[in-house]
Amino acid sequence: MTLDEGIRHAGQGRKSRPSVASHAPSPDTLIVGLGNPLRGDDGIGVRVIQTLVAEALPEGVEVVEGGTQGLGLVSLMEGWRRVILVDAANVGQPPGGFVRFTPQEARLLGGDQQISIHNAGLRDALLLAETLDLLPDETIIYGMQPANLDWDDNLSPQVEAAMPELVKAILDELGSSRPTPGG
């Protein structure tokens, strides 16, 4: 799924869609994978989305590659009840370690800290969404500590090895989990 396709696909879940004409349940959870897949571990969010596309996700869940949206993330989140964001982030863990947190918990880290590795950080987008009263009812962030942010289309071995655990945590968040092999 390209970024443009993902944004169009994600736009189907916004409040502005007709609610009377459709008999299908409205998607209420959007999972956004952030980052640049050409910058090594910065592509973890996009890689997670590519993995989730192949999963049997619960009804009402949509996924989108968010790229390096910055403040554009605000309009992408608009209208969703729950948004799960996945990004490479400075979370004080060894490479491949990840942390689950909310915008409120991110705010406790202080104004000088930048969580996201992007110029207009995730915190900036979340603060703007909150100020404009566009923040979803529930916003969850999974930040994974990168090892390599150089121009490289591969994840570092540490991040690659940790990716299945991150995907499982997100599936568990949705109330779904991977079937165990042989069962």
Domain ranges in the chain?
26-173
- Mutual orientation of helices 157-173 and 44-53 as an angle, nearest 10°? 50
> How many helices and strands, by DSSP H and E, does the chain display?
6, 5
**What are the backbone angles phi and psi of residue 138, rounded to the nearest 5°?**
-135, 125
**Cα–Cα separations (whole angstroms), residue 77 to 3, 104, 179, 183:** 15, 17, 30, 36
Return the CATH architecture of domain 26-173: 3-Layer(aba) Sandwich (3.40)
Q: How many residues does the chain have?
A: 183
Q: What is the pLDDT of residue 128?
A: 64
Task: Spell out the per-residue pLDDT of the chain, length 183, in tens.
Answer: 443 444 334 444 433 333 233 334 456 898 999 888 898 999 999 999 999 999 888 888 999 887 777 666 777 788 888 999 999 988 889 999 999 988 877 654 444 444 554 445 666 666 766 666 667 778 898 999 999 999 988 999 999 999 999 999 999 998 844 444 444
DSSP state letters, 30-58: EEEEES-TTBGGGGHHHHHHHHHHTS-PP
CA distance 84 to 174: 10
Nearest alpha-carbon partner for 41 in 143, 113, 112: 143
Q: What is the pLDDT of residue 25?
A: 45
Is this prediction's pTM over 0.75? no
Nearest alpha-carbon partner for 139 in 74, 59, 71: 74
Q: What is the pLDDT of residue 112?
A: 41
